[in-house]
Structure 1
Amino acid sequence: MAERKVPHDLARLWRLPIGTRLGRPAELTVDKVVDTAIELADRSGLSGATLPKIAVVLEVTPMSLYRYIGSKDELTALMADAAFGPPPEPAATREQWRPALRQWVRDQFAVFERHPWLVQLPTSGPPRGPNAVGWMDAGLRALRATDADWGTKIGVITVLSGYARQGFLLGAQLAAGRQAADLDEPAALRIYSRELTELIDPQRFPDIAELLGSGLFESVPPPDTADEDFTFGLELVLDGVAGVLDRG
């Protein structure tokens, strides 16, 4: 039977050898290029991790980088897999699916906090790199003791990983908006409430009018409600998962 060839981009993701090793040793490695790109992205966002900027740091020409990454799209795939890293090892207390999945989501959220640029990358397909596959395996492992079929398990971890990503993105964008306006959260909510109250017609938007009249946005929330909001949403999603699993 003919041996199957692994595509070069997938081989680089898994750090498999490509081609022969004859001739002069390479000046760089895939890891060196990717680590440099991640450092630049952490410092300045994705726009700071362009091939010319990476080349300057590594003191090579931009074209020479294609020996190690194949393309710009491949570089971002390599960066994403490396930045996520392997998932934390499941703890002994994670035998029940709910605490295991709760921690799995929070661990992903922590990755986004370390590398905010990750949420800017498009999701172009299922996990392909070793670290991404490792996170997927950890999510499935959390559901091992349930009676859910494979399709349900994939659906559950897809929704939960999407919540981690979107939850971080929403929080970061709201914080950036408040920072641009030089407002803290309570002040921003009070302004929002008072401005909208002037515009809302109770006949057209009866429930919004009732919400604004409740004084919710005028009360002073705790100094940081971002984690509280994320936790509420996460438990809401996990309640939905529980309902699906209970129905078998």
Structure 2
Amino acid sequence: MTKPTDVSEQPPYLRIVAGIRQRIIDGELGPGDRVPSIRQIAREWGVALATATRAVTTLRLEGLVETRPRTGTVVAGTTPARPPRRHSSPAPASAPASAAASEQELTLERIVRTAIDIADAEGLSALSMRGVAARLGVAAMSPYRYVPSKDDLILLMADTAFGEETYPADAPEEWRSRIELGARTLWTLYRRHPWLAQIGSLTRPLVVPHLMVHAEWMLGALDGHGLDPTTLFDIHVLLYSHTQGLAVQLEWEAHAEASTGQSEDQWMDSRAPALQGLVESGRFPTFAKVVGAFDDGYDLRLDVLFEFGLKALLDGLTPIVEGQEPVA
């Protein structure tokens, strides 16, 4: 008679799977509830990030959880009435064949796309080469056969993400329409991949081909209006900084919510007494007047700010761009 496997003898990732599965079965975590992040699991169970990633991947394969962009991993909409078949240890004989198949199917494109999925769901800080390998079901060192380091992987991720949107061959003739299309295209990409705005700065910009496609579009819109090269490039940098600068807030807020467990509104509510004290101190009369005019507080809307700022910038730049002698 086969002796049942003691839970304590199971691999660490299966003990984590069992623990989270039980929370779901007991109703502690319901459909749509966010399950612990990779980093939270690593801290709670005292395991490596790769082990935590493997546990979440197993839960996903069992259909218990699903990943939603910028929300993270949540309990799936419907959960089984009873727990699925328990894994046993040691693994069945078919496991090595499955792992070998994963190794054979491994490509640079799969590695990059998997890394993007992790960054989209958990943030760039949760990305690791081991985590990517665990998600793909391959040996920890396998991705290094295709990409030498995490930094190189991030560059490939950025280039791939920036390449998801392109521009029409029949470009708008009016420079302002072209700039608006270019800025909104970048904003769409940053919205889709909030971590993207965290890579590179104005002083140390990314040098990847697909980002250059967007730069070429913006520079082409400004070229031919008689601007000297420095002014033309300054305008390009200013417009890019507006888009990227606002987009940085997307990942910062997601990270803050994950680390504090508070939404933006909850965080502001917790600071209400301190804010009220500043308003009533009499030291900041204009601030008090403006804040007091809001019925339900100020609603920070990044999409609205992006459009408002873009219009203000273009309104201000129009006399500069159109005030020059056009180049034939």
Bigger shift: residues 151-160 or 190-199: 190-199
How much does 1:216 deviate? Answer: 5.1
Q: Which has the higher helix share?
A: 1
When normalised by structure 1's length, the TM-score is 0.71
How much does 1:243 deviate? Answer: 3.8
The match for 1:8 is none
Please give the root-mean-square deviation of Cα atoms over the aligned residues, in Å. Answer: 3.5
Bigger shift: residues 233-242 or 74-83: 233-242
Contact 2:197/2:248 (CA < 8 Å) preserved in 1? yes
Q: Helix, strand or coil: the match of 1:100?
A: helix
Pick from 232, 242, 246 the counterpart of residue 318 of structure 2.
Answer: 242
Using the alignment, how far apart are the partners of 2:169 and 2:127 within structure 1? 35
Bigger shift: residues 75-84 or 127-136: 127-136
Map residues 184-223 of structure 1 onto 2, 5 A cutoff: 194-201=276-283, 208-214=284-290, 217-220=293-296
How much does 1:165 deviate? Answer: 1.3
List per-residue Cα deviations over 1:202-225 (Å, max 9, x = no partner): xxxxxx412412455433479774
Q: Helix, strand or coil: the match of 2:146?
A: helix
Supply the AA of the counterpart residue of 2:278: L
List per-residue Cα deviations over 1:161-180 (Å, max 9, x = no partner): 11111112336656867982
How much does 1:75 deviate? Answer: 0.8
List per-residue Cα deviations over 1:3-39 (Å, max 9, x = no partner): xxxxxxxxxxxxxxxxxxxxxxx86332121111111
Which of structures 1 and 2 has the bigger CA Rg?
2
Is 1:74 aligned with 2:152?
A: yes
Pick from 122, 125, 132 the counterpart of residue 211 of structure 2.
Answer: 132
Structure 2 vs 1, CA of residues 114 and 191 (structure 1 numbering), >3 Å: closer, same or farther?
A: farther
Structure 2 vs 1, CA of residues 221 and 97 (structure 1 numbering), >3 Å: closer, same or farther?
A: farther
Pick from 225, 228, 236 the counterpart of residue 157 of structure 1.
Answer: 236
The match for 1:180 is 262
Contact 2:246/2:302 (CA < 8 Å) preserved in 1? no
Supply the AA of the counterpart residue of 2:265: L
How much does 1:185 deviate? Answer: 11
Is 1:168 aligned with 2:250?
A: no
Pick from 60, 64, 67 the counterpart of residue 142 of structure 2.
Answer: 64
Map residues 32-111 of structure 1 onto 2, 5 A cutoff: 32-90=110-168, 92=170, 94-111=172-189
Using the alignment, how far apart are the partners of 1:213 and 1:224 within structure 2? 18
Q: Helix, strand or coil: the match of 2:265?
A: coil
Q: Helix, strand or coil: the match of 1:183?
A: helix
Using the alignment, how far apart are the partners of 1:217 and 1:181 within structure 2? 24
Structure 2 vs 1, CA of residues 199 and 216 (structure 1 numbering), >3 Å: closer, same or farther?
A: closer
Bigger shift: residues 94-103 or 226-235: 226-235
How much does 1:190 deviate? Answer: 7.7
Structure 2 vs 1, CA of residues 87 and 142 (structure 1 numbering), >3 Å: closer, same or farther?
A: farther
